[in-house]
Each structure stands twice: as C-alpha cells, then as structure tokens.
Amino acid sequence: MRIFLLLVLMAISPLNWAAAKIETWQTPKGSRVFYIYAQDLPMADIRITFDAGSARDGAQHGLAALTSGLLDTGAGKWSADELAQRFESVGANFGTSVSRDTASLSLRTLTDPPLFDKAVETMKTILTQPVFNQADFDREKNRTLAALKHRESSPSALADLTFNKVVYGDHPYAHSSAGEIETVTALTADDLKKFYKQYYVSANALVVIVGDLTKKQAAKTAEDLLAELPAGQKPADIPEVSLPANAKLQHIEFPSTQTHVLSGIPGMHRKDEDYFALYVGNHILGGGGLVSRLFEEVREKRGLAYSASSSFAPMFRKGAFSMGLQTRNDQTQQALDVMTQTLADFIETGPTEAELEAAKKNLTGGFVMRFDTNSKLAGYAEMIGFYGLPLDYLDTFPEKVLALTVNDIKDAFKRRVDPKLLQTVTVGEAVKLREK
C-alpha cells in the first residue's frame, strides 16, 4: 500500500516542475518570435524557420532542399570559404536544414558580445543576401546528385522512399526532401532564386531564441536579423492528405542480406484531436524504446530483428503512422505476419490497464527529460511556434497523458488506423510474399 502511494506521488510530482517559460511576440515586420531565457551557459541557440520545406517543391522535387543548401555558399560580399571562416573563428556552429514542412537556419554561438555580434551578422547576411552563384550552384547540385545516387545502395533508404510514395500518392509529402535524380538535374540557379524570393519573407518567418540573452537582447537580435527581409506573404496551406483506397504491397528486389519492412498509413497531424490518445497508444504498441508490444513480439520473443518499432510523425498535415523492422530475407513473411497480427490485436482489444498505467508512469515520470537541454528547448519552441500549439503545451502534457483511458486509446486507434488500408513495402532479396 505504501509502495502504491509512493508511485502515485512520483507520477504526479513532475507537474510541480514548470517547463521553461516561453515568451512570444512579433517583430515590426510581422515575424513571430519565440524566446526562452536559459542563463546557465554563456551561449545561445537561434533558429529562423520558414514554411518553405519540400512540401513547397511543386513538381520540382528537391528545390527547397537545394535552395536551403545554397544559402551559406555565398552571401553579400563573402564567399563560402569566408562565411565558414567567420563562424568558425568565433567558435559558432551554423547550419541549414529542410523537412517536409520547414526550412531552417540554425546558429549556436557564445554570447560574449564580439563573438556573438560577428556570428549574428554573418547569419543575417546569409539570410538576407544569398547570391546563388552559378559555380556554387553547379557544385552543390552535383553533390546532391551524388547523394541521391548513394541512397540507392541503402535498402533502408529505398524502403523509406517507396513507403512515402505509396502512402502519400500525389500529395506534396510523397517525395523526399532531397528530390530525385531527374528533378534535381532539371533545376537551375534561377529556380532557387525565385523560390527564395517567394518563401524567405518576414510574414513567413519564425524566430526561436534560447539562451543567455535578456528579452531585450533577444528582441533586438530578432529584429536586426530580419530587418532587411521583405514583408512578403505567408503561403496558402498545403492540401489535406487523403487516405489510400485499398491496401497495397510493394516489393523491391535488392541484393541485401536483410529485408527492410515498412507498413503504415497517413496518421495524424500536429493539432490532431486524437493526438494524445494516438501518441500514448503508439508508445505502448511500438514507440516505447526497449519496452513495447512490437519490440516484445518481434525481438524479445522471437529474435527476428534488431529493431522493431512503430511511430506517428505528426506534421502540418497528417504524417505517416508506420511500423518497421529489418530481418533476414527468409524470415520476412514470418516477421511481417507477427507485425501485422500485433497491430490487429492492439486495434481489436486496445492496451491493457496495466500497459496504460506503465506508459503513463514512463511518460510523466520522464517528463522533465523532454526539455533538459537548450537544444531540446529550442526544438519545442520551434514546434510550438511553427504549428501554432498552445504556449502551455509542455506544461499541460502530463495531465493530458494522465487523463487518458483504455477506451480513449482503443477508440482512437479503431477510428484512425484501418489495417485494411495498410501500405506495405519490402526491400530485400528474393522473398516470396503470399497474398493476403
């Protein structure tokens, strides 16, 4: 009895720990700023994020990624070499990245003024005056093409690519951010300039600042960084994702010792009503690291794979729900059957009370570890800002998890994950998959 009480108390205690305070405002030009004060280390993380990810590529797959990749290869009067030297001479780390939804510029710098100022000035120049030189463009395009070729030697990359194609059909989420050899080959430097002009604008920008800067310093930094960006417009929302009409199985014959298996459907979006039910349900099904049903059935009981897991990848629109594993070629059918049956059982009966209790303890007990570094805080601030989640998203996370019942989860999975619509991809050697 005493032990029971102790566990209950432990599960609730993180609620008393307030997640970091996020403050938000708009710059005079209409960009949103999300700021968290973290004074312990003399450093700051700055991210500028645009709704300019690969979902904005149109038919030119790879356009958003190559645009982002070109930014720091020449800006203002500085060459790629000079830009890199400017950052690295003050110990700053700079990078650009794209996802399906976003394109970001990220800076990690010390906050001592001369170092900080030089790093921020360099970032600002990259953001506002990229030159898209033909020579830099040709080189970076060739590097992208080599990377696209290289990924064809990876069965896991091929499985990913094919899975997204079958799950999303003609939706802008269907292609990979890097694009394809044919579409990237067709890109020109002018395409990139046009894309940059349209999407890298104040109205479409989000600034995240986490670190040892006062609110006043953060406000000035954000304003300075974006001062020379044109106001522009926020682009129209990308279309909804529709569900596939029927189940599909696609096999790619590949000379590997293992077959990579991915199976799933469009899942949920960031502001989904079923977010917590699906999130916690998936934690039990296959998201919980070394403890989950898929891990237990595929790896622990049968030794069929090194990793076996499932996930939801919520985005602006529905990201994929997917289950994945890799197994010796001749075990593919067995592993796929176990995976499919595990899902079917979970949808049919939902989690047990004990499983839900364990998941709640895990998620609430480990709640504070979700934001114990500046990097993680910056990631949350960006997510909350970009997707328009409530500022108290983190603070209310434990209570939303604790409020769930077995029926909530069972009901959500029944409505949202239809096993009859599963899109399944296998990449490996000479497996004979029987028809379902």
Partner 1 sequence: MKYVKILGLMLVIGASSVNAETKVHEHQLKNGLKILVKEDHRSPVVVSQVWYKVGSSYEPNGITGISHMLEHMMFKGTDKLQPGEFSRIIAANGGNENAFTGRDYTAYFQTMEKSRLPVSFELEADRMRNLNLLDEELKKELQVVYEERRMRTDDNPRAKTQEHFTAMAYSNSPYKNPIIGWPSDIENYTIEDLKAWYQRWYAPNNATLVVVGDVEPKAVFSLAEKYFGELKPSEIVAIKPQQEVPQLGIRRMVVKVPAKLPYLVMGYKVPVLKTSEHEWEAYALEVMAGILDGGSSARLETNLVRGKQLAVSVGAGYGLASRLDELFMLEGTPVQGKTANDLEVALKEEIEKLKYELVKQDELQRIKAQVLANAIYERDSMFYQGMQMGMLETVGLGWQKEKEYVKKVSEVTAEQVREVAQKYFKDDSLSVAYLDPQPIAEQKTEKTNEGAN
* Residues from 47 through 106 that contact partner 1 (CB under 8 A): 72, 80-81, 84-85, 87-93
Based on CB atoms, which residue is closest to partner 1, 27 or 327?
327
**Is 17 near partner 1 (CB under 8 A)?**
yes
Site for partner 1 in 315-334 (CB under 8 A): 326-328
> Which of 126-134, 170-178, 243-251, 338-346 is the region at the interface with partner 1 (rule: CB under 8 A)?
243-251
Based on CB atoms, which residue is closest to partner 1, 314 or 428?
428
Locate all alpha helices (DSSP H) within 71-133, ordered by sequence: 80-89, 113-128
- The residue count for binding partner 1 (CB under 8 A) is 92
CB of 293 to partner 1, least distance (A): 12
**Residue in 341, 260, 365 with CA at minimum distance from that of residue 293:** 341
Give the one residue of 204, 258, 322, 332 binding partner 1; rule: CB under 8 A. 258
Based on CB atoms, which residue is closest to partner 1, 198 or 373?
373
CB of 346 to partner 1, least distance (A): 18
For every residue of 221-276, DSSP letters joined together read HHHHHHTTS----PPPPPPPPPPPSS-EEEEEE-S-SEEEEEEEEE--BTT-TTHH
**Is 372 near partner 1 (CB under 8 A)?**
yes
**Is 401 near partner 1 (CB under 8 A)?**
no
Give the one residue of 8, 21, 26, 41 binding partner 1; rule: CB under 8 A. 41
**Is 13 near partner 1 (CB under 8 A)?**
yes
Site for partner 1 in 104-163 (CB under 8 A): 108, 110, 112, 114-115, 139, 142-143, 145-147, 149-150, 152-156, 158
Per DSSP, the three-state class of 98 is: strand
CB of 175 to partner 1, least distance (A): 17
Based on CB atoms, which residue is closest to partner 1, 20 or 203?
20
Based on CB atoms, which residue is closest to partner 1, 112 or 348?
112
Spell out the residues 6+ positions from residue 74 whose beta carbon is closer than 8 angstroms to its own.
Answer: 80, 83, 130, 131, 132, 133, 136
CB of 93 to partner 1, least distance (A): 7
Q: 313, 320 in Cβ contact below 8 A?
A: yes
Based on CB atoms, which residue is closest to partner 1, 371 or 386?
371
For every residue of 344-363, DSSP letters joined together read HHHHHH---HHHHHHHHHHH
d(C-alpha 233, C-alpha 360), whole Å:
42
CB of 299 to partner 1, least distance (A): 6
Site for partner 1 in 268-307 (CB under 8 A): 288-291, 296, 299-307
Q: 54, 65 in Cβ contact below 8 A?
A: yes
User: Running DSSP on this structure, what letter comes out for residue 53?
Assistant: S
Based on CB atoms, which residue is closest to partner 1, 6 or 227?
6
CB of 83 to partner 1, least distance (A): 8
346-361 burial: b if 16+ Cβ within 10 Å, else e: bbeebbeeebbebbbb
CB of 138 to partner 1, least distance (A): 9
**Is 263 near partner 1 (CB under 8 A)?**
no
d(C-alpha 42, C-alpha 109), whole Å:
9
Q: Given 3-state DSSP classes, what are the helix, strand and coil percentages for the chain, each rounded to the nearest 5?
A: 50, 20, 30
Spell out the residues 6+ positions from residue 35 whose beta carbon is closer than 8 angstroms to its own.
Answer: 22, 23, 24, 25, 208, 209, 210, 215, 218, 219, 222, 381
Q: Around Cβ 294, how many Cβ atoms within 10 Å? A: 27
CB of 139 to partner 1, least distance (A): 6
